[in-house]
Structure 1
Amino acid sequence: MADRTSADETLTRDELAAFFEHLGTEFAENGELDEQSVQIQVGNKTVQLNPPETVDLSVDVVERSPMLRGTRETIEIEVTWRPSRSD
């Protein structure tokens, strides 16, 4: 069974930077403290995840030209892993 939590938001550039900064801090600080859990705010819910020491990262950038219904740029960032076991 898969649980999915998702949220779509419109953010300012500063708010987006703060989101990524918080995400980076969660991964960095918990790694230093030997804690395995990372807490991520998704909409109005906090999700606790258990990443291992290494994760897989995929970045996809799409730049659409004006000929295809207007100019649009997209970045998709996906981070995946098999959860660490907390014993």
Structure 2
Amino acid sequence: MANRTTSAERLDREAAAARLEAVAASLRADECTVRVDNKDITLRPTDAIEFQLDVVEKQAMFRGDRETVQIELDWRPE
């Protein structure tokens, strides 16, 4: 069974960078705590982590251009 907790919000660039830095700092510890909305989720990352970075650049004549970056970290807790 998979439990999924998601959150979407609009942040300014500085706040988005701060959120990523908080995740990175937590990832360096033995336990990684990630804040999603009003919920703290504690994870147990292993030393080896699958890292995927996906960048999409869309050009649309009527809706305007759009750029998307997705970062995925994946591991099997021990």
Alpha-carbon distance in 1 for matches of 2:25, 2:62? 38
For 2:55, the aligned partner's letter is V
Q: Which of 56, 61, 64 lines up with 1:67 in the alignment?
A: 61
Runs of 4+ in structure 1 over 2 Å off: 66-69
Bigger mean CA offset, 67-76 vs 41-50: 67-76
Distance 1:47 1:27 in 2: 12
Look up the match of 2:11.
11
* TM-score scaled by length of structure 2: 0.91
Which of 1 and 2 has greater Rg? Answer: 1
- Where 2:47 maps in the other structure, the secondary structure is coil
Deviation at 1:54, TM superposition (A): 1.1
Paired residues, number: 78
Aligned residue identity for 2:52:
S
**Any unmatched runs of 5+ in structure 2?**
none
TM-score normalised over the length of structure 1: 0.83
Does the C-alpha gap of structure 1 residues 68 and 76 become closer, same or farther in structure 2, counting only changes over 3 Å? Answer: farther
Structure 2 counterpart of 1:83, one-letter code: P
RMSD over equivalenced CA pairs, Å: 1.2
Where does 1:35-46 land on structure 2 (aligned, <5 Å)? 35=30, 37-46=31-40
Percent identity, aligned pairs only, is: 38
